[in-house]
Amino acid sequence: MADKPAKPAASGKKDDASGGPKKAGPSAKSKRVVLIAVAVIALVAGIGGTVGVLHLLGLLGTAEKSERQVAVVSLGQPVLVDMPEVMVDLKVGTCRSPYLRYAMRIEVSSGAAAKVVDEFQTRIMDAVQQHLRGKERQELVGVEGADRMRNEARDIINRLVAPERINGVLFKKFVLQ
Protein backbone atom coordinates (compact mmCIF):
# COMPACT_ATOMS: atom_id res chain seq x y z
CA MET A 1 0.00 0.00 0.00
CA ALA A 2 0.99 3.48 -0.70
CA ASP A 3 1.85 5.64 2.15
CA LYS A 4 -0.64 8.33 2.91
CA PRO A 5 0.68 11.83 3.15
CA ALA A 6 1.14 12.91 6.68
CA LYS A 7 -1.29 15.34 8.13
CA PRO A 8 0.14 18.69 9.00
CA ALA A 9 0.63 19.26 12.65
CA ALA A 10 -2.17 21.05 14.46
CA SER A 11 -1.17 24.65 14.80
CA GLY A 12 -4.26 25.94 16.57
CA LYS A 13 -5.90 27.25 13.42
CA LYS A 14 -9.02 25.49 12.21
CA ASP A 15 -9.30 24.21 8.69
CA ASP A 16 -12.23 25.33 6.60
CA ALA A 17 -14.22 23.07 4.26
CA SER A 18 -11.67 23.55 1.46
CA GLY A 19 -8.98 22.06 3.56
CA GLY A 20 -6.90 25.23 3.89
CA PRO A 21 -6.33 27.16 7.06
CA LYS A 22 -9.03 29.70 7.98
CA LYS A 23 -7.96 33.33 7.79
CA ALA A 24 -8.59 35.53 10.75
CA GLY A 25 -11.28 38.16 9.79
CA PRO A 26 -12.06 41.47 11.39
CA SER A 27 -13.44 41.22 14.84
CA ALA A 28 -17.01 42.19 15.72
CA LYS A 29 -15.72 45.29 17.51
CA SER A 30 -13.89 46.63 14.46
CA LYS A 31 -16.96 45.95 12.25
CA ARG A 32 -19.08 47.98 14.65
CA VAL A 33 -16.61 50.89 14.60
CA VAL A 34 -16.58 50.93 10.78
CA LEU A 35 -20.39 50.80 10.64
CA ILE A 36 -20.72 53.71 13.09
CA ALA A 37 -18.15 55.74 11.14
CA VAL A 38 -20.05 55.17 7.87
CA ALA A 39 -23.34 56.19 9.52
CA VAL A 40 -21.81 59.39 10.93
CA ILE A 41 -20.30 60.29 7.54
CA ALA A 42 -23.66 59.69 5.80
CA LEU A 43 -25.47 61.82 8.40
CA VAL A 44 -23.01 64.72 8.04
CA ALA A 45 -23.17 64.52 4.24
CA GLY A 46 -26.98 64.50 4.34
CA ILE A 47 -27.17 67.54 6.60
CA GLY A 48 -24.57 69.37 4.52
CA GLY A 49 -26.45 68.58 1.30
CA THR A 50 -29.76 69.77 2.76
CA VAL A 51 -28.23 73.03 3.97
CA GLY A 52 -26.62 73.55 0.56
CA VAL A 53 -29.89 73.01 -1.30
CA LEU A 54 -31.81 75.32 1.06
CA HIS A 55 -29.16 77.99 0.67
CA LEU A 56 -29.23 77.59 -3.10
CA LEU A 57 -33.02 78.00 -3.16
CA GLY A 58 -32.83 81.03 -0.90
CA LEU A 59 -34.88 79.38 1.82
CA LEU A 60 -32.13 79.55 4.38
CA GLY A 61 -31.69 82.89 6.11
CA THR A 62 -28.36 84.63 5.83
CA ALA A 63 -26.69 87.04 8.20
CA GLU A 64 -27.03 89.94 5.80
CA LYS A 65 -30.56 90.91 4.91
CA SER A 66 -31.26 91.59 1.28
CA GLU A 67 -33.44 94.56 0.66
CA ARG A 68 -36.43 93.68 -1.44
CA GLN A 69 -38.65 96.19 -3.06
CA VAL A 70 -42.30 95.31 -3.17
CA ALA A 71 -44.67 97.10 -5.49
CA VAL A 72 -48.18 97.49 -4.14
CA VAL A 73 -50.92 98.27 -6.60
CA SER A 74 -54.18 99.50 -5.18
CA LEU A 75 -57.05 98.47 -7.39
CA GLY A 76 -59.65 99.90 -5.09
CA GLN A 77 -62.89 98.21 -4.18
CA PRO A 78 -64.40 95.87 -6.76
CA VAL A 79 -67.53 97.12 -8.47
CA LEU A 80 -70.56 94.84 -8.42
CA VAL A 81 -73.06 94.96 -11.29
CA ASP A 82 -76.47 93.45 -10.59
CA MET A 83 -78.18 91.48 -13.31
CA PRO A 84 -81.94 90.89 -13.31
CA GLU A 85 -83.44 87.70 -11.91
CA VAL A 86 -84.06 85.10 -14.61
CA MET A 87 -85.94 81.83 -14.88
CA VAL A 88 -84.63 79.35 -17.48
CA ASP A 89 -86.10 76.07 -18.70
CA LEU A 90 -83.44 73.40 -18.60
CA LYS A 91 -82.92 70.50 -20.97
CA VAL A 92 -85.43 67.75 -20.26
CA GLY A 93 -83.76 64.68 -18.82
CA THR A 94 -85.13 62.57 -15.99
CA CYS A 95 -87.07 65.49 -14.51
CA ARG A 96 -90.40 66.36 -16.14
CA SER A 97 -90.06 70.13 -16.44
CA PRO A 98 -86.85 71.34 -14.82
CA TYR A 99 -86.09 75.01 -14.50
CA LEU A 100 -83.56 77.24 -12.81
CA ARG A 101 -84.26 80.59 -11.22
CA TYR A 102 -81.15 82.64 -10.62
CA ALA A 103 -79.97 86.18 -10.03
CA MET A 104 -76.32 86.98 -10.49
CA ARG A 105 -73.98 89.79 -9.65
CA ILE A 106 -70.91 90.42 -11.79
CA GLU A 107 -67.73 91.57 -10.05
CA VAL A 108 -65.46 93.90 -12.02
CA SER A 109 -62.36 95.80 -10.95
CA SER A 110 -63.16 99.27 -12.28
CA GLY A 111 -65.99 101.60 -13.13
CA ALA A 112 -65.04 101.49 -16.83
CA ALA A 113 -65.50 97.72 -16.89
CA ALA A 114 -68.83 98.12 -15.08
CA LYS A 115 -70.03 100.44 -17.86
CA VAL A 116 -69.05 97.87 -20.49
CA VAL A 117 -70.96 95.15 -18.60
CA ASP A 118 -74.01 97.44 -18.40
CA GLU A 119 -73.83 98.08 -22.15
CA PHE A 120 -73.66 94.34 -22.89
CA GLN A 121 -76.26 93.32 -20.30
CA THR A 122 -78.82 92.03 -22.83
CA ARG A 123 -76.21 90.02 -24.73
CA ILE A 124 -74.78 88.64 -21.49
CA MET A 125 -78.19 87.50 -20.27
CA ASP A 126 -78.99 85.91 -23.64
CA ALA A 127 -75.66 84.06 -23.85
CA VAL A 128 -75.90 82.70 -20.30
CA GLN A 129 -79.53 81.61 -20.81
CA GLN A 130 -78.67 79.91 -24.10
CA HIS A 131 -75.84 78.05 -22.36
CA LEU A 132 -78.16 76.99 -19.52
CA ARG A 133 -80.84 75.66 -21.87
CA GLY A 134 -78.38 72.98 -22.96
CA LYS A 135 -77.84 71.82 -19.35
CA GLU A 136 -79.74 69.12 -17.49
CA ARG A 137 -80.81 69.55 -13.88
CA GLN A 138 -78.33 66.90 -12.70
CA GLU A 139 -75.42 68.97 -14.05
CA LEU A 140 -76.34 71.93 -11.82
CA VAL A 141 -77.18 70.17 -8.55
CA GLY A 142 -75.06 70.86 -5.48
CA VAL A 143 -72.09 73.05 -4.77
CA GLU A 144 -70.06 71.55 -7.61
CA GLY A 145 -72.81 72.32 -10.12
CA ALA A 146 -73.14 75.93 -8.95
CA ASP A 147 -69.35 76.41 -9.03
CA ARG A 148 -69.12 74.93 -12.51
CA MET A 149 -71.92 77.24 -13.68
CA ARG A 150 -70.20 80.23 -12.06
CA ASN A 151 -66.97 79.49 -13.96
CA GLU A 152 -68.80 78.88 -17.24
CA ALA A 153 -70.76 82.14 -16.87
CA ARG A 154 -67.52 84.03 -16.15
CA ASP A 155 -65.92 82.61 -19.30
CA ILE A 156 -68.99 83.51 -21.43
CA ILE A 157 -69.07 87.06 -20.10
CA ASN A 158 -65.31 87.56 -20.56
CA ARG A 159 -65.65 86.57 -24.22
CA LEU A 160 -68.46 89.10 -24.69
CA VAL A 161 -66.83 92.08 -22.97
CA ALA A 162 -63.26 91.51 -24.25
CA PRO A 163 -60.78 93.26 -23.94
CA GLU A 164 -62.29 94.13 -20.54
CA ARG A 165 -62.26 91.34 -17.95
CA ILE A 166 -64.56 90.50 -15.09
CA ASN A 167 -63.27 89.15 -11.79
CA GLY A 168 -66.09 86.76 -11.07
CA VAL A 169 -69.75 85.90 -10.94
CA LEU A 170 -71.69 85.78 -7.69
CA PHE A 171 -75.11 84.19 -7.43
CA LYS A 172 -77.61 86.04 -5.26
CA LYS A 173 -80.19 83.35 -6.02
CA PHE A 174 -79.73 79.87 -7.50
CA VAL A 175 -82.87 77.71 -7.23
CA LEU A 176 -83.34 74.45 -9.13
CA GLN A 177 -86.80 72.94 -9.48
Supply the pLDDT for residue 149. Answer: 92
Neighbours of 132 (CB within 10 A): 21
pLDDT of residue 124: 94
Number of Cβ atoms within 10 Å of the Cβ of 106 = 25
- pLDDT tier at 148, thresholds 50, 70, 90: very high
Residue range 132-156: mean pLDDT, rounded? 91
Q: Is residue 106 a contact partner of residue 80, using CB atoms and an 8 Å limit?
A: yes
**133 close to 88: Cβ distance less than 8 angstroms:** yes
Which residues are 104's β-sheet partners?
Answer: 171
The pTM of this model reads: 0.55
In eight-state DSSP terms, residue 2 is P
Output 17 or 130, whichever has higher pLDDT.
Answer: 130
**Cβ atoms of residues 84 and 57 within 8 Å:** no
Whether 84 contacts 125, CB under 8 Å? yes
